[in-house]
């Protein structure tokens, strides 16, 4: 496929991806960001404290002592992401307004990866002085300034001046964020290919913000000046070049006869691309040294696509800025954690010591063995340092602890910290607790689905939301969607969503499927003594999508199934159960997973068993604990009740107590306790009233006493609770089937499909 400039670029996303991207940004509340109050605003008293008259008190305190702003306002955890849109990714100068999606994106990544609050600010000027003035005036509001996507050379003047004038960290991420990650990647790629940093010959393509900063940092690390050739759109930047030079390019000009990128790359060890899509051709990499190191970091599309590069140079170590290939060298690996560390010590700047500490910490992390609990977070897969893992992934849960702690320490050691952290171990623990491992694990689950793609039946493929999910599932490479519905309707739906070749999708329709006679035989055999005539079965298979789909599973035509959008849960499960039995010694039940910024809570059984026996409760607890573990959590199971350890007494406690006794008799595999009220299970202060309680912390697996309370709680939390909800997830059937809620979004359906096909729930 050719890109906008006619460059041949095989990885260009198809049309429907572009539609998806627009849909993603527009559904619900447009954009990706909202502001949420961190204090209650419910009563008159709350309001009088939050605003006038109460607010006058911190005003006076801050006027008397500016440092008090860190105690009484959000300043200390707030970063502005500021751009004028003159170099938006690799798309060029598209203006301040068009940069807003990227800046909102950076702001949400700050929150997602490092719990830093962040807001985007787009400044409509290309005048350096006006831009500087606009940003400088914002100092009181923020704990730090992340400059973004501002083109060179203006960005150098802007950052330098703001650093001099402002007393909070000012960090141009495209320069230093990129340089830090690139440096970490280069260190590790050199180790793997047995090169010394002082010996490598480097070609840098691009001479803008990112390229200049990366070049400066690798030179500071020991690459000799004469070993680096930099190119821009006019070719090699050689000493004495007459055209398109400025002081920043001149600083990296070298004596050389090479005039083109092709010439410069002959025999080069390393290519650093910070330029534009498609700038590196396969024939160019053929002339590089053995085991070349190729970082094609232009976004959204790299200078060369990894498959094309690998074909030309199978011995290369390849990295890109994208998350869908191994080795993502992208500044997202750095900026959230660097600012986290800087904010936590109220640093006045981000200096070279802090940058070097960050680069070293990131490089070191990739070389470390992945500890057991992180391997669980990686879906059980142990990543080992090697050509496809030269750098940790941005969702590696260790990054926050390791990089932020290194940056905070370097800030204190180099004298730019206004606040000292006395106990670094405690600080590391605090950093760890700030993040929820579930999101990292889910990313890994997605990866493991990709490594082992399965066939998943989407039983209601005539529904738009289901088709949308199926397309995402296929395009994400998570597996092969098997679509059940009328061919014509499904194909039209696919076309309407921008799919160019609907025939690429497998569609099963009971009206013309050659499998129907086998399905009928199989199901009749199963149901003939349960009151069904053969013609009843014929009708069920022909007319009921859930029965048809579940039978596809039973016949081995697919590995998992997803349904639930057009029928209630109760009806869907009834239909599925006509075809599928519980797994041996299991009972079907449901789990809702509540995912917050720093916690994940599992609730079970929220869907099926009305009054579970002791035996059933014990099984539900064991299975739910296993799911929690697979999602990266150490389970702490509480059997919930209105009563805590017998108070108040009641007649409904026996099954719960029986479950605890049953678990007592089995080899202990996880912490459990009960019966207890939800507030005791979740609130450490209340739990402390029961010193004999065997839970080592607040419960994260809540086993509900019956379906009434379980289902009500799950639905109340979904509607009122504020957490993201995964589920209900269905466990215990002989084949993996997931029954989503009727209000599911496409991405919720994809998550369930991926969880089912990756074997996290079944």
Residue 149 labeled ligand binder: yes
Q: How far is the CB of 91 from ligand NDP (least distance, A)?
A: 8
Determine whether the annotation assigns residue 94 to a binding site.
yes
Residue 279 contact, options ligand PYR, ligand NDP, Mg ion, none, Cβ 5-8 Å cut-off depending on partner type: ligand NDP
CA 593/CA 74 separation, integer angstroms: 30
* 477 marked ligand binding residue: no
Q: CB count, 10 Å around CB of 19? A: 16
**Nearest Cα residue to 273 out of 215, 224, 219:** 215
Q: Which helix (H) or strand (E) holds 717?
A: none
Count of residues touching Mg ion (by CB under 5 A): 2
- Which DSSP string corresponds to 73-99? SGGGGEEEEEE-STTBTTTB---TGGG
CB of 151 to ligand PYR, least distance (A): 11
* Order of strands, sheet of 724-731, starting from the edge strand that comes earlier in the sequence: 671-676, 636-640, 701-703, 600-604, 589-595, 724-731
294, 285 Cβ separation under 8 angstroms = yes
Query: 322 or 633: whose CB is closer to Mg ion?
Result: 322
Establish if 89 lies at the interface with ligand PYR (CB under 6 A). Answer: yes
99 vs 700, beta carbon nearer ligand NDP: 99
Q: Which is nearer to ligand NDP, 77 or 330 (CB)?
A: 330
77 binds, among ligand NDP, ligand PYR, Mg ion, none (CB under 5 to 8 A by kind): none
3-state secondary structure 227-239: HEEEEECCEECEC
In angstroms, give the least distance from the CB of 619 to ligand PYR.
47
Find the shortest distance in angstroms from Cβ 261 to ligand NDP.
7
Among 365, 348, 450, 444, residue whose Cα is nearest residue 401: 365
Q: Around Cβ 629, how many Cβ atoms within 10 Å?
A: 16
Question: In the beta sheet, which residues pair with residue 729?
Answer: 591
275 binds, among Mg ion, ligand PYR, ligand NDP, none (CB under 5 to 8 A by kind): ligand NDP
Q: Which does residue 628 bind out of ligand PYR, Mg ion, ligand NDP, none, counting CB within 5 to 8 angstroms by kind? A: none
Taking the complex as a whole, how short is the minimal distance between the CB of residue 131 and ligand NDP, in angstroms? 15
Q: Counting contacts by CB under 6 A, is residue 118 touching ligand PYR?
A: no
Burial pattern 356-367, b for ≥16 Cβ within 10 A else e, equals: bbbbbbbbbbbe
**299 contributes a contact to ligand PYR by CB under 6 A:** yes
Provide, rounded to whole angstroms, the least separation between the CB of residue 97 and Mg ion.
16
Question: Is the distance from CB of 613 to CB of 655 less than 8 angstroms?
Answer: yes
Give the shortest CB-109-to-ligand NDP separation in angstroms: 12
Q: Does 321 bind ligand PYR (CB under 6 A)?
A: yes
In the complex with ligand NDP, the residue whose CB is nearer, 231 or 737, is 231
The contact pattern for Mg ion, residues 308-347, with x = CB under 5 A and - = no contact, is ----------------------------------------
Smallest separation (angstroms) from ligand NDP to the CB of 188: 16
Q: Report the C-alpha gap between 85 and 275 in whole angstroms.
A: 16
Q: Pattern of binders to ligand PYR over 329-348, x per CB under 6 A? A: -xx-----------------
Residue 274 interaction partner, one of Mg ion, ligand NDP, ligand PYR, none, beta carbon < 5-8 Å per kind? ligand NDP
CA distance 639 to 659: 9
* 91 in contact with ligand PYR (CB under 6 A): no
For ligand NDP, the closer CB: 276 or 312 = 276
- Compute the least distance from the CB of residue 317 to ligand PYR, in Å: 20
CA distances from 362 to 69, 333, 380, 393, 594 (A): 32, 8, 22, 10, 31
95 is in an annotated binding site: yes
Secondary structure of residue 726 in the 3-state scheme: strand
Distance between first and last Cα of the chain: 40
Q: Is 174 annotated as a binding residue?
A: yes
**HSE-CB for 251 with a 13 A CA cutoff:** 11
Q: Residue 531 class from Cβ within 10 Å (0-12 exposed, 13-18 middle, 19+ buried)?
A: exposed
| 560, 553 contact by CB (below 8 A) | yes
User: Which tokens is 534 given?
Assistant: 């053969």
Which residues, numbered 95-154, are part of the site for Mg ion (CB under 5 A)?
149
Q: Which of 75, 106, 281, 454 is catalytic?
A: 106
d(CA 340, CA 206): 30
Treating both helix axes as pointing N-terminal to C-terminal, what angle do 398-413 and 100-114 enclose, rounded to 10 degrees? 90
The answer to whether 246 is a known ligand-binding residue is: no
Q: Is residue 311 packed enough to be buried (19+ CB in 10 Å), middle (13-18) or exposed (0-12)?
A: exposed
734 is in an annotated binding site: no
Complex with ligand PYR: residue 330 or 554, whichever CB lies closer: 330
Choose which of 20, 122, 174, 401 interacts with ligand PYR (CB under 6 A). Answer: 174
338 labelled as ligand-binding?
no
| 104 binds ligand PYR per the rule CB under 6 A | no
Rounded Cα gap, residues 566 and 334, in angstroms = 44
**Footprint of Mg ion on residues 148-207 (CB under 5 A)?**
149, 174
Q: Considering beta carbons, is residue 70 or 325 the nearer one to ligand NDP?
A: 325
- Quickly tell me which residue has 């797994």 as its tokens: 583
106 is catalytic: yes
Residues in contact with ligand NDP by CB under 6 A are 87, 89-90, 151-152, 174, 178, 205-211, 231-234, 244, 274-276, 279, 297-299, 321, 329-331
Q: Which is nearer to ligand PYR, 149 or 303 (CB)?
A: 149
**485 annotated to a ligand binding site:** no
- Decide if 176 contacts 211 (C-beta within 8 A): no
For 509, the token pair is 């329709």
Q: Which is nearer to ligand NDP, 298 or 552 (CB)?
A: 298
- 727 contacts ligand PYR (rule: CB under 6 A): no
Residues that bind ligand PYR (CB under 6 A): 89, 149, 173-174, 299, 321, 330-331
Annotated binding site for a divalent metal cation: 148-149, 174, 299
Residues annotated within the binding site for NADP(+) are: 88-95
Residues recognised as catalytic: 106
Chain positions contacting Mg ion, by CB under 5 A: 149, 174
Enumerate the known binding-site residues. 88-95, 148-149, 174, 299
């Amino acid at each position: 496929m050719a890109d906008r400039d006619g460059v041949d670029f095989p990885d260009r996303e198809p049309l429907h991806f572009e539609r998806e991207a627009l849909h993603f940004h527009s559904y619900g509340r447009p954009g990706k960001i909202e502001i949420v109050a961190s204090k209650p605003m419910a009563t008159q008293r709350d309001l009088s404290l939050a605003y006038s008259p109460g607010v006058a008190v911190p005003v006076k305190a801050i006027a008397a002592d500016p440092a008090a702003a860190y105690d009484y306002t959000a300043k200390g955890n707030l970063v502005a992401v500021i751009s004028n849109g003159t170099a938006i990714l690799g798309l060029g100068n598209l203006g301040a307004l068009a940069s807003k999606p990227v800046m909102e994106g950076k702001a949400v990544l700050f929150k997602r990866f490092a719990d830093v609050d962040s807001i985007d600010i787009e400044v409509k000027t290309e005048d350096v002085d006006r831009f500087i003035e606009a940003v400088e005036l914002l100092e009181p509001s923020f704990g730090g300034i992340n400059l973004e996507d501002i083109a060179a050379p203006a960005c150098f003047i802007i950052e330098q001046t703001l650093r001099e004038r402002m007393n909070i960290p000012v960090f141009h991420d495209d320069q230093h964020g990129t340089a830090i990650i690139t440096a970490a990647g280069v260190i590790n790629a050199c180790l793997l290919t047995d090169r010394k940093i002082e010996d490598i010959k480097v070609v840098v393509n691009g001479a803008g913000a990112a390229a200049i900063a990366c070049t400066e940092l690798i030179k500071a690390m020991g690459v000799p000046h004469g070993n680096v050739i930099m190119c821009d759109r006019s070719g090699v930047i050689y000493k004495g070049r007459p055209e398109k030079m400025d002081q920043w390019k001149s600083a990296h000009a070298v004596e050389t006869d090479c005039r083109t990128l092709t010439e410069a790359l002959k025999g080069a060890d390393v290519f650093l691309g910070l330029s534009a899509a498609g700038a590196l051709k396969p024939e160019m990499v053929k002339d590089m040294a053995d085991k070349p190191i190729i970082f094609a970091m232009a976004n959204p599309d790299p200078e060369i696509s990894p498959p094309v590069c690998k074909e030309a140079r199978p011995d290369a170590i390849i990295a890109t800025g994208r998350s869908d290939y191994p080795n993502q060298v992208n500044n997202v690996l750095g900026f959230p954690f660097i600012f986290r560390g800087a904010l936590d010590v109220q640093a006045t700047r981000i200096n070279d010591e802090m940058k070097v500490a960050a680069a070293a910490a990131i490089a070191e992390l990739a070389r470390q063995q992945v500890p057991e609990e992180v391997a669980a977070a990686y879906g059980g897969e142990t990543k080992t340092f090697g050509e496809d893992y030269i750098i940790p992934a941005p969702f590696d849960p260790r990054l926050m602890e390791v990089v932020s702690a290194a940056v905070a320490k370097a800030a204190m050691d180099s004298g730019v910290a206004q606040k000292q952290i006395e106990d670094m171990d405690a600080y590391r623990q605090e950093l760890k607790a700030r993040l929820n491992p579930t999101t990292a694990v889910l990313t890994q689950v997605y990866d493991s689905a990709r490594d082992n793609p399965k066939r998943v039946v989407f039983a209601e493929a005539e529904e738009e939301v289901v088709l949308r999910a199926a397309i995402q599932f296929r395009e994400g490479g998570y597996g092969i969607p098997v679509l059940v519905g009328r061919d014509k309707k499904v194909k039209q739906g696919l076309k309407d969503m921008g799919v160019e070749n609907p025939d690429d999708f497998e569609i099963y329709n009971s009206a013309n499927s050659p499998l129907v006679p086998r399905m009928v035989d199989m199901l009749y055999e199963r149901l003939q003594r349960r009151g069904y005539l053969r013609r009843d079965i014929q009708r069920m298979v022909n007319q009921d999508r859930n029965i048809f789909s579940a039978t596809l599973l039973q016949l081995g035509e697919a590995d998992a199934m997803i349904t639930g959008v057009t029928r209630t849960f109760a009806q869907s499960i009834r239909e599925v159960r006509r075809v599928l039995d519980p797994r041996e010694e299991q009972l079907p039940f449901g789990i809702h997973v509540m995912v917050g910024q720093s916690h994940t809570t599992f609730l079970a059984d929220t869907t099926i068993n009305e009054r579970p026996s002791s035996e059933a409760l014990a099984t539900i607890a064991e299975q739910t604990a296993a799911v929690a573990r697979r999602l990266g959590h150490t389970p702490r199971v509480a059997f919930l009740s209105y009563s805590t350890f017998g108070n108040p007494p009641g007649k409904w406690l026996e099954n719960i107590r029986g479950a605890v006794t049953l678990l007592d008799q089995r080899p202990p595999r996880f912490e459990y306790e009960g019966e207890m009220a939800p507030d005791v299970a979740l609130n450490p202060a209340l739990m402390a009233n029961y010193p004999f309680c065997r839970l080592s912390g607040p419960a994260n697996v809540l086993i509900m006493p019956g379906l009434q309370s379980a289902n009500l709680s799950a639905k109340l939390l979904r509607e009122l609770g504020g957490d993201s909800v995964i589920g209900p997830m269905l466990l215990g059937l002989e084949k993996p089937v997931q029954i989503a809620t009727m209000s599911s979004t496409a991405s919720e359906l994809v998550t369930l499909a991926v969880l089912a096909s990756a074997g996290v729930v079944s």
